[in-house]
Amino acid sequence: MDNRVSLAACGSYEEAEVEAALRSVLDPIGGLDFVKPGMRVAVKLNLVSAMKPETAATVHPAVVCALTKLLRERGAEVVLGDSPGGLFNAAHLNRVYEVCGMRAAEAAGAELNADYSQIEAEFPEGAVARQFSYTAWLSKADAVIDLCKLKTHGMMGLTCAVKNFFGSIPGTQKPEYHYRYPKTADFSNVLVDLYEYTKPVLCLCDAVIGMEGNGPTQGSPRPIGCLLASKNGHALDLTAAGLIGLSPDEVPTLQAAIRRGLVPDSEAGLRFFGDPGAFRVPDFRTVPSQASVFFLALGDGPLGKAADRIGKRILTPFPKLDPASCVGCGKCAQICPAKAITMKDKHPHIARNRCIHCFCCQEFCPKGAMRVGRHLLMRVLGK
Ligand code: SF4
Ligand code: SF4
């Protein structure tokens, strides 16, 4: 297991500063040594939606441009892409590239992925996902680099290196995965499987400005001030979680990776180049985690089952509407994989008994009107 994680200060998206930080974060772990002239390198970005760079919802173009430059210097062909929610086609992706500022990376010598085909992947080693549809552009490259963003996430606590690979599933099929694997423990193993299937040679994280609060799309930008790099995405995620004040048991993908022996169970097992302590943000606004909920063992008898049901209801965060921000567009009802939302009088109504807590409605609400809610008791306890 490679347990090395590198961190380098980067206080702005100014071109020269980003390039210098990128070189210094890569250097201690031999980051781009694998690149040979003529190699085709796919860079899996986090382009969750057509949102401007200043929202901090997507990887900043300055980081993408700097990486493109370094790869081109070594003679690589660079292809950039993602499969955000929605149709995986030219019309949708061209808009995403445009709004997210990726034309600048194209000008720097990268190709923006235009291959919208998929393959049927077989991964017998997977814990949960052993056969799945996979975006073909990633499988056609000689190597894959994971270039993610550090943000809060309603379902997973955090989105960073491993969660980024949900974007290897064609966009319209994503809700189906939520529905097929409604339990957080299973879904997090699916994400770990997708990461392990792809096995990126390098993971890089844009944590210059992360997203706090109602992430991964409607939170607030928050300076963290660094780039992170590792050849082990789980180790990078463990470090990133620590920067924003999350423990491993609040991040279900980390729990899954720890159980599978892919990462140590604490930062003490990692080897750092750079000081994580210099970049911690103690008052970073995280979202409530449901990680512990599915591992409660309150007994098997009728009383235990009733207590388990009540406990889950109290502990599990749920989607909560802010009516003042809602414009009644109905996108949440369209995206909900459990068909738990119906529109009445131009407002969404959620059937709590159908909800599988995937937070797709929160992620894709264009107005940030869907939030992550917590039971009163948990708020009183400050959880
Ligand atoms: S997606 Fe957001 S704005 Fe649109 S109806 Fe749902 S909650 Fe309201
Ligand atoms: S209501 Fe929201 S959180 Fe619940 S299943 Fe539907 S999309 Fe997921």
Q: What is the DSSP annotation of 43-64?
A: EEE---SS--GGGTSS--HHHH
Q: Is the pLDDT of residue 12 over 90?
A: yes
Q: What is the mean pLDDT of residues 312-335?
A: 87
Bridge-based pairing of strands 40-45 and 143-153 is parallel
Which residue owns the Cα nearest ligand 2 atom 4? 355
pLDDT of residue 292: 41
Closest ligand to Cα 336 = 2
Q: Is the pLDDT of residue 107 over 70?
A: yes
pLDDT of residue 1: 87
Classify 298-380 by CATH class: alpha beta
- Return the best residue to mutate from 352, 359, 374 for the ligand 2 pocket (most ligand atoms within 8 A of CB): 359
Residues with CB under 6 A from ligand 1: 321, 326-332, 348, 365, 367, 369-370
pLDDT of residue 308: 60
Q: Is the pLDDT of residue 344 over 90?
A: yes
pLDDT of residue 196: 98
Which residue owns the Cα nearest ligand 2 atom 6? 336
Give this prediction's pTM. 0.85
Q: Whose CA is closest to 43, among 192, 190, 230, 203? A: 203
Ligand 2 centroid distance, CA of 342 (Å): 11
**Is 340 touching ligand 2 by the criterion CB < 6 Å?**
yes
User: Which is more confidently placed, 154 or 326?
Assistant: 326
Q: What letter does residue 201 receive in the DSSP assignment?
A: S
pLDDT digits (tens, 9 = 90+) for 48-106: 999 999 999 999 999 999 999 999 999 999 999 999 988 899 999 999 999 999 999 99
pLDDT digits (tens, 9 = 90+) for 25-62: 999 999 899 999 999 999 999 999 999 999 999 999 99
Three-state secondary structure readout of 310-328 = HHHHHHCCEEEECCCCCCC
Residues 6+ apart with CB under 8 A from 65: 15, 18, 104, 105, 108
To 10 degrees, the CA torsion angle through 191, 257, 215, 94?
Answer: -40
Report the mean per-residue pLDDT for the chain. 91
**CATH topology identical between 4-279 and 298-380:** no
**Is 361 touching ligand 2 by the criterion CB < 6 Å?**
yes
CATH number assigned to the domain with residue range 4-279, chosen from the 4 options 2.40.240.10, 3.40.50.11440, 3.10.20.90, 3.40.50.300: 3.40.50.11440
Chain-centre distance for alpha carbon 267: 20
CA dihedral sign of residues 304, 309, 314, 315 = positive
Ligand 1 centroid distance, CA of 120 (Å): 34
**Is 336 touching ligand 2 by the criterion CB < 6 Å?**
yes
Which residue owns the Cα nearest ligand 2 atom 8? 358
Q: From the CA of 331, give the closest atom in ligand 1.
A: 1
pLDDT of residue 310: 63
- Return the best residue to mutate from 329, 343, 345, 364 for the ligand 1 pocket (most ligand atoms within 8 A of CB): 329
Q: From the CA of 319, give the closest atom in ligand 2.
A: 3
Q: Is the pLDDT of residue 123 over 80?
A: yes
Q: Is the pLDDT of residue 295 over 80?
A: no
**Is 319 touching ligand 2 by the criterion CB < 6 Å?**
yes
290 pLDDT tier (thresholds 50, 70, 90) = low
pLDDT digits (tens, 9 = 90+) for 163-186: 999 999 998 888 888 888 888 899
